[in-house]
Chain A
């Protein structure tokens, strides 16, 4: 977007000198600290007199708890208290459905479910004491396969059946036929968010039965609501402040240490610190849903899609978390950014005794994209079409309707994004076997090939993803902005509860304030629950929604200042403009200084801001305006595959994405790089291996994420087609790259190997044996 924001005049000198407005890339205030190892993460929290909490977790996948004897643990020197389900005063917790006990009550439903808590004056003492808690279990039959969970005879995870949600889309002809039909089955393994900062927090009791919780999280107010539910306390007694967050990616949307630390603090009257180690972290947060997908496309001989059918089963694990919303996304968006006149989708979310799954970057679209993009390649090959051309032929354009019948009412540059990545220069040809460079070959310095067996492949993928919460959710944010003169300088303080998880939102808030109020000095207040909810830092929504709230609060502040000036100077309000430290007339004359107008007062405005509404979809047809905005991206992957050993080196991973308006261009590029790496990780290596409900690799030794030697340099083309409905025209940025990168990598490997490869992550043996 090129037009200036509406109310700030473009001209005067002071404004022009401002550094760090929208469109600039000011340095992040946390950046240098993080690089130098000085940033205080949640795990660095400390309070005088604090003691440590630990969790005892279920070793079983599904079992009845016959008895718990805490005596020996409690008798351990240094132990303050041991708590079990009986000590939880309130009810269950859960993001959408309150189906999860704070501590297992009578039954454990997954490997790693919290059963008891210990507080002691040293974490090691607490851990040793937890081992002395004697829990007698009686194992129960378990269901650990998503499709089996829907069979009538399957063990029931909860009363009321294993079906969490069934989303149906029925559009067009119910019995479509087409001259060309392709189909596939696809499986997606369980990915982990793999954030580097483990779950951590500090709960500090007050003298009046209340508590202050400092915690690394994604959504302070949803946490607060659930903690109040579990503790039976009103919100004013449960105050949250965001601690330093070391990555989130959806994995901090559900509670982890929150209620546990508060329970221990209220019981002992002491500040409680809790930090998971890496192994516990793998049990302490939800993962990306594994999915089983069956797809069929019907098209004419020229590759034009006539119909699509999809059946998707998301394994939600033992508790609901956000499974229903993941089903919403997977179902409504799971056929990709294509025009398809006749559609039948059945998307299921089910309970099993596997680890609970919930939010992760890409939220239901990631799994589906692997299937629809693989099938699109298959269709292209069948009709003899170029793989990019077939996507451009079927790709959405502005003015089209998607499979829920929603009008795409802003840019939908599917064809252009694909063209951009296709036209980018290709990496150099591989060196000959006589002058090989190990680092550029599959296997790297592990020296498994000098070029033998190596075949290059190129793959493409495109996606679209909803931004913000959908299906009628009341999705808003709150911002408080204060303008005052401090030390003879105008100062803005911006206060929101929006979690900064590393994405750079605090910088964006500063940029918006500078732009709207023309003030250089913008102080960002710590994020806490003393201001209204900002909604979740997820769904690529914060720059849009909290950015919108900050913009609106700035506008309210500006209006107040001008009202004061108008009264004071006896001038028409419409003739006044706020420009940093001055009030100017519309003719450009300075009529007063801000100092004159404000004196020692502050103008302080709080605004609750919502994006335009979304609506539930029809339960039978799935039709409706479910989403507020769509963001599009395309990737081209170039891989070298050692076809004999099944090892892969991604040589290039190039992308084009429409971001509407890049508020902070450097941060946008950072999001695209990181998201692309995470998507590539799922294609190649990232999987929590679960066998009969048990997690087998809860460590960074065996849960592999890409290193710098796995991630190639990227070429990134950022388009800025403003969304006229969004503040500044912004479009969410964080998720699309995670969706289209993995399928492009998988496609490139299929191209290189000629193998079908209908499962990710693609392991070496899938290539050598498949």
Chain B
């Protein structure tokens, strides 16, 4: 196994073009586990830790452009106000050591349905920026996940950044694990209210082959809030509305039984998390008035 260590982004893209089978590595919290267990023996490892621009975040036309190499710890410390949903999700990742090394870009690269960042990014309607020597493209995250641990990266592409619009409304993230820390999710849910466009964003984790949005739940809630004039009045949310929203979210999942949990529990827990997180988000929205 050869170790490629580009010093710049353009060198990295050239290396990836020259060795499309090279596996990119940043924090190594996923890749090294795969290597150690001999699940994967790539011919090349492409080390991205020397590329400074990957580790920065900036503003890009009013959006946050989050370099793929920004760690969860930095999201928590630096972006808690700008990206609250992603920061909440980041707090649930692994242990402090893992959060110090693991990156949001790595979560996308692995594209595990259980990745903690996905539901928050989906709810925030994030885009992902992919780059190669051929150029740069941006695509909605929903188009990025293509299957269990598979994504839309072309063989010569690397993940450059994630683009997220700072919220105009409250965000929430919840995750079920069978212990109170350092646990892979049994199910997870991200929620974002977008009052400026009277829209709702959702993200479901660990309950389908890929992370996914619950579109029907989003539409149902956005329309119901609109129909009742609640976006404007910020009145108390009728409990049955939150319950029904939960049921829509549950229906959007297609979970399986595995060693971490049962399909029926995953469905049930999604409904509960969706209902509760909506009530918290709505309380935040009302308080923000």
* A residues neighboring B (CB under 8 Å): 127, 277, 279, 442-450, 452-453, 644-647, 649, 684-685, 689, 696-697, 701-702, 704, 706-710, 763-765, 768-769
Contact = CB atoms under 8 A, between A and B. Distances in A.
Contacts of B6: none
A55 to B, nearest CB: 15
B268 A443 contact: no
Contact of B173 (A277, A279, A447, A649): A447
Given A450-B280, A707-B182, A709-B181, A443 B173 contact: no
B92 A702 contact: no
B181 A445 contact: yes
Contacts of B178: 647, 684-685, 704, 763-764
A710 B174 contact: no
A448 B88 CA distance: 12
Contact of B180 (A453, A689, A702, A710): A710
B265 A768 contact: yes
B175 interface: yes
A279 B34 CA distance: 13
Contact of B269 (A645, A689, A704, A708): A645
Contacts of A768: 265, 268-269
Interface string B181-204: 111111000000000000000000
Contacts of A697: 259
B176 A443 contact: yes
Given A448-B176, A448-B276, A450-B280, A769 B264 contact: yes
User: Nearest 9 pairs between A and B by C-beta?
Assistant: A444-B180, A709-B181, A765-B265, A446-B175, A709-B180, A696-B259, A445-B91, A707-B181, A697-B259
Interface in B147-188: 172-186
Q: Give the bracket for the number of chain B residues in contact with chain A.
A: 20 to 34
Given A706-B179, A709-B181, A710-B180, A445 B272 contact: no
16 contacts: A443-B175, A443-B177, A444-B181, A445-B92, A446-B176, A446-B185, A447-B172, A450-B280, A645-B176, A645-B269, A645-B273, A646-B265, A647-B178, A702-B184, A707-B181, A709-B180
B38 interface: yes
Given A446-B92, A448-B273, A704-B183, A765 B175 contact: no
A646 B187 CA distance: 13
A710 B179 contact: yes
A707 B259 CA distance: 20
Contacts of B136: none
B10 interface: no
A125 to B, nearest CB: 13
B260 interface: yes
Contact of A447 (B174, B259, B260, B265): B174
B176 A647 contact: yes
Contact of A764 (B36, B180, B182, B265): B265
A392 to B, nearest CB: 33
B50 to A, nearest CB: 26
Nearest to B268: A768
Contacts of A769: 264-265, 268
A702 B176 CA distance: 14
A685 B265 contact: no
Contacts of B173: 447
